[in-house]
Amino acid sequence: MTRRERGTTSTLRAVRTNRVTAATLTIGGCIALPSAVSASPSDSSVNGSWQVTITDLGLLPGGIYSSAYAINDTGKITGTAYDASGALQNVQWVNGQISIMPGFDASGASIPEDLNDAGEGAGRLVIGGFLSYGIYWDSQNNAFACEGLPSGASSLTKAHGINASGQVVGIAKEGGPNFFGHAVVWLTNALQTDLGFMGGGTYSEAYGINDLGDVVGVAAIANTNQHAFLWQNGQYTDLSTWSGGTSNSKAYAINNQGVIVGLNNNVASRWQNGSALPLPMPPGISAFTPAIDINDAGDIIATATKVFPVEVGVLWRNGEPIALGTLPGGTISRARRINAAGEIVGEANAANGNFHAVKWTVTSIGPPCSADINGNGTVDAADLSVLLGGWGSANAAADVNDDGTVNAADLSMLLGAWGVCGS
User: Across the beta sheet with 190-196, what order do the strands follow?
Assistant: 157-162, 167-173, 181-187, 190-196
Q: How many CB atoms lie within 10 A of CB 315?
A: 23
How high is the pLDDT of residue 279?
96
Q: Is residue 380 part of a domain?
A: yes
Share of the chain above pLDDT 70, in %: 87
pLDDT over 80 at 316, yes or no: yes
Give the CA angle between residues 152, 158, 159 to the nearest 5°.
125
Average pLDDT over residues 96-108: 82
pLDDT over 70 at 400, yes or no: yes
Residues in the chain: 423
pLDDT over 50 at 5, yes or no: no
Q: What is the DSSP letter of 36?
A: T
How high is the pLDDT of residue 108?
66
Cis amide leading into 309 (omega within 30): yes
Rounded-to-integer distance, Cα 283 and Cα 177, Å? 48
How many CA atoms does the CB half-sphere of 269 hold within 13 Å? 24
Q: Is residue 394 part of a domain?
A: yes
Q: Is 381 helix (H, G, I), strand (E, B) or coil?
A: helix
Q: Is 144 helix (H, G, I), strand (E, B) or coil?
A: strand
Average pLDDT over residues 351-365: 95
Q: How many CB atoms lie within 10 A of CB 166?
A: 17
**Digit-coded pLDDT (tens) for 207-236:** 999 999 999 999 999 988 999 999 999 999
Average pLDDT over residues 313-327: 94
Q: How far apart are the first and last CA of the chain?
A: 24
Asked if 145 contacts 138 with a C-beta cutoff of 8 angstroms, the reply is no
* Average pLDDT for the chain: 87
pLDDT over 60 at 40, yes or no: no
Rounded-to-integer distance, Cα 380 and Cα 17, Å? 43
Q: Is residue 186 part of a domain?
A: no
Q: Is residue 325 part of a domain?
A: no
Asked if 384 contacts 376 with a C-beta cutoff of 8 angstroms, the reply is no
Cis amide leading into 177 (omega within 30): yes
How high is the pLDDT of residue 368?
56
Q: Is residue 78 part of a domain?
A: no
Q: In CATH, what number is assigned to the domain containing residue 415? A: 1.10.1330.10
**Beta pairing partners, 194:** 184
CB-based burial of residue 243 (10 Å sphere; 0-12 exposed, 13-18 middle, 19+ buried)? exposed
pLDDT over 80 at 275, yes or no: yes
Question: Which amino acid, residue 409?
Answer: A
Distances from the Cα of 245 to the Cα of 64, 263, 312, 414, angstroms:
43, 10, 26, 19
**Beta pairing partners, 238:** 229
How high is the pLDDT of residue 366?
61
Q: What is the pTM of this model?
A: 0.80
Rounded-to-integer distance, Cα 356 and Cα 348, Å? 6
For residue 88, the surrounding DSSP H or E stretch is strand 88-94
Q: Is residue 410 part of a domain?
A: yes
pLDDT over 90 at 363, yes or no: yes
pLDDT over 90 at 196, yes or no: yes
Rounded-to-integer distance, Cα 307 and Cα 284, Å? 8
Q: Phi/psi class of residue 299: alpha, beta or left (left: φ > 0; alpha: ψ in -120 to 50)?
A: beta
How high is the pLDDT of residue 73?
98
Distances from the Cα of 404 to the Cα of 15, 370, 408, angstroms:
32, 14, 12
Share of the chain above pLDDT 90, in %: 71
Rounded-to-integer distance, Cα 339 and Cα 324, Å? 16
pLDDT over 50 at 318, yes or no: yes
Q: Is residue 395 part of a domain?
A: yes
Q: Count structural domains, the chain.
A: 1
Average pLDDT over residues 76-99: 95
Rounded-to-integer distance, Cα 314 and Cα 19, Å? 28
Rounded-to-integer distance, Cα 384 and Cα 258, Å? 25
Q: Is residue 419 part of a domain?
A: yes
Write out the residue range of the structural domain in which residue 384 sits.
372-423
pLDDT over 80 at 370, yes or no: no
How high is the pLDDT of residue 42?
76
Asked if 135 contacts 144 with a C-beta cutoff of 8 angstroms, the reply is yes
Residue from 61, 108, 106, 100 nearest 84 by CA = 61
Asked if 294 contacts 261 with a C-beta cutoff of 8 angstroms, the reply is yes
